[in-house]
Amino acid sequence: MAHAYTPGLRVATLTAVRKVRRLPIKGEVLVKKGDRVTSDTVVARTHLPGNVQLVNVASKLGIPAEDLPSVMVKKEGDPVKRGDPIATTKGFFGLFRSQVPSPCDGTLENISTVTGQIILREPPTPIQVTAYVDGEVVEVFPNEGVAVEAFGTFVQGIFGVGGERTGEVKVVAKSPSDVIGVSQIDPTLKGKIVIGGSHVTWDVLQKAMEVGVNGIVVGGFDDPDLRKLLGKDLGVAITGSEDIATTLVLTEGFGEIAMAGATFELLKSREGRKASINGATQIRAGVIRPEIVIPMPDAKSAADVAASHVSGLEAGSTIRVIREPYFGRLGVVTDLPNELQTMESESKVRVLNVRFDDGTDALLPRANVEMIER
């Protein structure tokens, strides 16, 4: 049978999902292999060193650098408070003293008789890493973090913004082509992961952020509305660190595009369950897709079979077209010819035959499609 590999989205009813949770610098791991964890379980923690501030005390007091130790009120290693004096001159007969206050809370790290400067280190920033998904710790990386494995539904999107959040799945659209209205967003959706249809507008997203919706999964979103949301044009960097109240995941792309029927029905069947969502996206090398993970704690045995192997592109594979003139359309591969085909551009490429949902057929370059792994 003809067989090929192509990048694709994962839409799995039941699979094993493994998430590596690492600290940015070495610290303390708080769980052990085999522990059951929930999405908000803190699995590791550390402290990021505080920022450094340089203060030219000798210049401020008008003294030579070598005289700096004689005017210091604090010594190296001492804690300091913002506004407290760290150095003071003796003055004349105890009068007309000059002082240098600390510009921050922290610790006095160094006193230099060469530059006349002191180094203050601001307090460290505590960092905690949570499990993100309900599951089991399957591997521990000493002083760094853990790997958590969950069995359940896994859906990747095309694009997203906003960070990691969790909440109960709530479907507000009646069909994959529905557009969510402002009236459908109410306080009962606070803390929920809302599943929409084809599109969400800026007004609706604003309302969702106001009522405290944790996440929205929908087919499409308009590019001008994305600029309103971010306050700037989207760059080429990874998304996911935006300071927004509601994580947004697009399953299809930009514009009003109906969510794939199979994806909508799968998410609808998980209504009421707890989900983890992350909008982080990177479309360059090292592709990162936004995702929705819905753990199914009692499904491990079935997931072992479902996740045993993901094949490449082959006849029968579901694909999405990612370039015009069929952009966004879904279909099934009917054949993968081995011979190179000459296209209108006169270039010779590998192609595939696809049958779209409406029954029509097309011959497309393999580079123009992505596989939807189920």
In the chain, % of residues over pLDDT 90: 65
For residue 344, the model assigns a pLDDT of 75
Nearest to 210 by CA among 172, 170, 178, 182: 182
Q: Read off the pLDDT band of 287 (50, 70, 90).
A: confident
For residue 262, the model assigns a pLDDT of 86
d(CA 313, CA 86): 68
For residue 4, the model assigns a pLDDT of 47
Write down the mean pLDDT value for the chain.
88
Q: Is the omega angle on the peptide bond into residue 79 within 30 degrees of 0, that is, cis?
A: no
What digits encode the pLDDT tens for the residues 113-140?
999 999 999 999 999 999 999 999 999 9
Nearest to 53 by CA among 126, 113, 115, 110: 110
On the 0-12 / 13-18 / 19+ scale of CB atoms within 10 A, 57 is buried
Please compute the mean of the pLDDT values over residues 75-97 and round it to a whole number: 83
Q: Read off the pLDDT band of 3 (50, 70, 90).
A: very low
d(CA 269, CA 263): 10
Written as six digits, the tokens of 157 are: 């999107």
Residue 7 has pLDDT above 60, yes or no: no
Please compute the mean of the pLDDT values over residues 329-333 and round it to a whole number: 87
Please compute the mean of the pLDDT values over residues 282-297 and round it to a whole number: 85
What digits encode the pLDDT tens for the residues 172-221?
999 999 999 999 999 999 999 999 999 999 999 999 999 999 999 999 99
Residue 150 has pLDDT above 80, yes or no: yes
Per the CB < 8 A criterion, the answer to whether 193 and 271 are in contact is: no
How many helices (H) and strands (E) would you count in the chain?
6, 29
For residue 22, the model assigns a pLDDT of 97
Domains of the chain: 52-121 (2.40.50), 313-373 (2.30.30.30)
For residue 76, the model assigns a pLDDT of 94
Nearest to 265 by CA among 169, 333, 159: 169
